[in-house]
Amino acid sequence: MSAAMDAREAGRRVDAVLDRLAATGDRQACEAAEELVRVLMDFYGAGLARIVERLGAGPVSRMLGDDLVASLLALHDLHPEDVDARIARALATLHEPVEPLGFDAATGVLRIRPAATGGGCGCGGTDAVRRAAEDALAGIAPEVTAVEAEPAPPQPALLQIGRRPHAPARVP
């Protein structure tokens, strides 16, 4: 695996290999391959857990800036931040601010919408916001398996405040 590979790319590659194997129709081979992936994940997860335990919180926290390390810790449920904190941190990196509407841990679905800031033009639409959020969340919050983006809330009407028309002066 190259140093540039991230968790999302590794997941895509594993899925592609498993899909190619499934296309052969050999069910036993598919089951064996899936078991192999699970066994290796468990093995590497146990090793990472031992490393985290022996290093302690300080050194581990300093490594969280490395996206690969952070994604591996999150993947093996070893990340010191909970999923809500990681979701918030990932969404804070987006160019357009978004508002999280809720995360359903049972389904892995995160609902978001563009924030009502009045500053953005909203030109990208909900698909662009959804894709940007998926990319930001990929490595840091693997619990999020899907992102649903709702339209931005309507902006309040602009109230024009001006001066009254100049009234003619009264003559006594």
pLDDT in 10s for each residue of the chain, 172 residues: 444 567 778 888 998 999 999 999 999 999 999 999 999 999 999 999 999 999 998 898 888 888 888 888 988 999 999 999 999 999 999 998 999 999 999 999 999 998 875 544 545 578 889 999 998 898 889 899 999 999 887 777 777 777 766 666 676 6
Instruction: Report if residue 168 sits inside a domain.
Output: no
Query: b or e along 86-113 (b: 16 or more beta carbons within 10 Å of the residue's beta carbon)?
Result: bbebbbeebebebebeebeeeeeebebb
> Any idea what DSSP says for residue 111?
E
Alpha helices in 56-162 (DSSP H): 57-62, 67-75, 83-91, 125-137
* pTM attached to this predicted model: 0.69
Claim to verify: residue 93 and residue 70 sit in the same structural domain: no
Claim to verify: residue 88 and residue 63 sit in the same structural domain: no
- The domain total for the chain is 2
Claim to verify: residue 73 and residue 4 sit in the same structural domain: yes
